[in-house]
Structure 1
């Protein structure tokens, strides 16, 4: 049973509008994408005001501080009141490495294409 003044972490993530549905928040907890105060969180684990929650969404960590307890999903303004976003801004596009993509429908890369891709990525040692 949860202590007084605490809420399940999956319910809080849903109420804070981090995940679109509560089942997605629960699945993220099961997959290990949610950390509570640096430790891997289970879906039923309790969060209290002042805790730090890290949620991995599409490859990036979102760092949130629990400012209030919300059980029901409300408006975006209510979500902003219960969660303080401490996530650093993303790096500029110039700093992110370019990943070469192939056009859709072009089929498998040929041996020559594959070698060019490996050369661009720097994963192959050419003598």
Structure 2
């Protein structure tokens, strides 16, 4: 096989849930091949870089194999290599402080202790 359409490959690689969603994503410019916006009928070659911005997530893939039919997730994983850089870890936040119901407003001393727990320094 010398190549396959971009929209078919995106669907077979399980980047889009349906073939029509893959076609629509290509038409909308959410699929780029080697840095250029790809039309749905653009033929992919082995080693091409596909950048997809689907479902608010940008991912980068290198084409390793072709498929014209949608298979299992294991078969789909063999179609590409994921080149997406790792996201930095989210900063940790302290757990929210919850007061018992009916405990009333915190006193001045309790407020200072709560602020210290939250990391507010005066």
TM-score by length of 2: 0.71
Instruction: Give me the whole-angstrom Cα distance separating, in 2, the residues matched to 1:15 and 1:83.
Output: 11
Instruction: Give me the whole-angstrom Cα distance separating, in 2, the residues matched to 1:91 and 1:57.
Output: 20
CA RMSD of aligned residues (A): 1.4
Q: 1:27 aligns with which of 17, 24, 30?
A: 24
- The equivalent of 1:99 in structure 2 is none
- The equivalent of 1:38 in structure 2 is 35
Indicate yes or no: 2:49 matched with 1:52. Answer: yes
Instruction: Give me the whole-angstrom Cα distance separating, in 2, the residues matched to 1:48 and 1:33.
Output: 19
Unaligned runs of 5+ in 1: 96-127
Unaligned runs of 5+ in 2: 93-122
Q: Tell me which structure has the larger Cα radius of gyration.
A: 2
Aligned residues: 92
Following superposition, which runs of at least 4 residues in structure 1 exceed 6 angstroms of deviation?
none
TM-score by length of 1: 0.68
